[in-house]
């Protein structure tokens, strides 16, 4: 499933920084996009509640049950049909859910309305349960999730994440993530770890770090337990910026 992986270590720049100086001409949009893109909840929701996320009806897509037994099912969704609301479905999805693993694969699966794609998935997402930990692998191009609409183009993901404890996700958990993200405008690699506790802060992680390589090295420090304001400190090549705001989880 893994396509490529580049681990970035958190490191400061050895250049002397003038006190009070800020990095100049830095564009926050790619960093805001990557923070949004790597949120785990929409991917887990897609695997666990596919029909609710995708939007289907009784006749389309055509569903074939490949296997079904206690605590496990495997089914295939096939397009080439029209939804009751006039939309069309193309391509193929396969879903599996078992005691220790769940996965979703797509082969050019698309839903279109009036000539525009409203949902698309090509690739694979797998969730493996190991005691109280989830291992989430995503190697896919996707759009139409609640954190990434198709109007923004397809989101390319090659990510490995761990989530602990699974029992309290998405309200309270720790996560590590590494890999790569591709949007219409940028391709970047990343490595990070953070904690979420919505009883302390509902809009951003309580603590953590994210290291991103987009030409230059970007370091983001998350601090929702101290200042639950949707903002984080952000450095470029070790040089501080005014900060990165508009974070969401």
Question: Is 180 inside any structural domain?
Answer: yes
Question: Is 42 inside any structural domain?
Answer: yes
Residue 167 clears pLDDT 60, i.e. is over it? yes
pLDDT of residue 135: 98
Question: Is 15 inside any structural domain?
Answer: no
Residue 7 clears pLDDT 70, i.e. is over it? no
Q: pTM score, two decimals?
A: 0.87
Question: Is 17 inside any structural domain?
Answer: no
Question: Is 21 inside any structural domain?
Answer: no
With cut-offs at 50, 70 and 90, classify the pLDDT of residue 15.
Answer: very low
Residue 149 clears pLDDT 50, i.e. is over it? yes
Q: Which domain holds residue 241?
A: 29-245
pLDDT of residue 110: 96
Give me the number of domains the chain comprises: 1
Residue 5 clears pLDDT 50, i.e. is over it? no
Q: Mean pLDDT across the stretch 69-88?
A: 92
Question: Is 23 inside any structural domain?
Answer: no
Question: Is 185 inside any structural domain?
Answer: yes
Count the alpha carbons within 13 Å of 18 in the hemisphere toward its beta carbon: 4
Question: Is 209 inside any structural domain?
Answer: yes
With cut-offs at 50, 70 and 90, classify the pLDDT of residue 1.
Answer: very low
């Amino acid at each position: 499933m893994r396509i490529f992986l580049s681990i970035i270590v958190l490191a400061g720049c050895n250049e002397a920084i003038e006190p009070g100086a800020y990095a100049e001409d830095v564009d926050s949009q790619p960093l805001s996009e990557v923070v949004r893109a790597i949120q785990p909840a929409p991917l887990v929701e897609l695997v666990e509640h596919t029909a609710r996320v995708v939007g289907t009806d009784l006749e389309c897509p055509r569903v074939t049950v490949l296997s079904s037994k206690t605590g496990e099912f495997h089914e295939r969704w096939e397009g080439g049909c029209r939804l009751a609301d006039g939309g069309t479905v193309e391509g193929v999805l396969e879903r599996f859910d078992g005691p220790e693993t769940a996965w979703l694969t797509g082969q050019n699966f698309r839903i279109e309305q009036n000539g525009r794609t409203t949902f698309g998935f090509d690739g694979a997402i797998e969730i493996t349960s190991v005691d109280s930990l989830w291992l989430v692998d995503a190697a896919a191009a996707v759009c139409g999730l609640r954190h990434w609409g198709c109007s923004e183009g397809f989101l390319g993901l090659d990510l490995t994440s761990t989530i602990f404890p699974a029992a309290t996700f998405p309200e309270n958990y720790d996560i590590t993530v590494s890999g790569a993200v591709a949007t219409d405008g940028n391709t970047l690699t990343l490595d990070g770890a953070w904690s979420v506790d919505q009883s302390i802060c509902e809009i951003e992680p309580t603590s953590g770090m994210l290291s991103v390589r987009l030409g230059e090295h970007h370091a983001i420090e998350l601090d929702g337990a101290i200042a639950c304001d949707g903002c984080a400190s952000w450095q470029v090549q070790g040089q501080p910026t005014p900060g990165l705001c508009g974070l969401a989880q």
